[in-house]
Amino acid sequence: MDQIPVVLSLYYEGGASQQEICSRLLRNKASVNRTVSFLLNKDIVRVMQDLVDKRKTWIELTDAGKKLAGQAHAILEKYNVSLSSVLTKEESNQFHNLMLKLINPATST
């Protein structure tokens, strides 16, 4: 399950450096490094050296990774539609605002 946020992040952003993934997902570098290594071994991502700064790497999804991420995105969308179908518009807005309130303290550190 640690891999899904990384795969979806790369899918939505079109690629990223490891540092960007760490920052975006609020995960430490070792955790992201393990995940990227696993995904690389499964041919889900490719890792390329940055042309400007040789210390950096750029990570992007392979075609297989894009297909997998597209499937995960579709499942999440179905789940979202299913959950939101039981809420009124007002409840949906209230839920959205509460989620933002809970997320903001976690992401502002």
Query: pLDDT value at position 108?
Result: 53
Distance CA 8, CA 68 (A): 9
Domain 3-84, CATH class in plain words: mainly alpha
pLDDT in single tens digits along all 109 residues of the chain: 789 999 999 999 999 999 999 999 989 999 999 999 999 999 999 999 988 888 888 999 999 999 999 999 999 999 888 888 898 889 988 988 888 888 776 555 5
Residues 33, 54 contacting (CB under 8 angstroms): no
| CB neighbour list of residue 47: distance below 8 Å, 6 or more residues apart | 36, 40, 57, 58, 59
Query: pLDDT value at position 52?
Result: 84
H or E element: which one contains 14? none
Task: Tell me the whole-structure pTM to 2 decimals.
Answer: 0.77
**Which residues face 57 on adjacent strands?**
49
Query: pLDDT value at position 29?
Result: 92
| CB neighbour list of residue 76: distance below 8 Å, 6 or more residues apart | 8
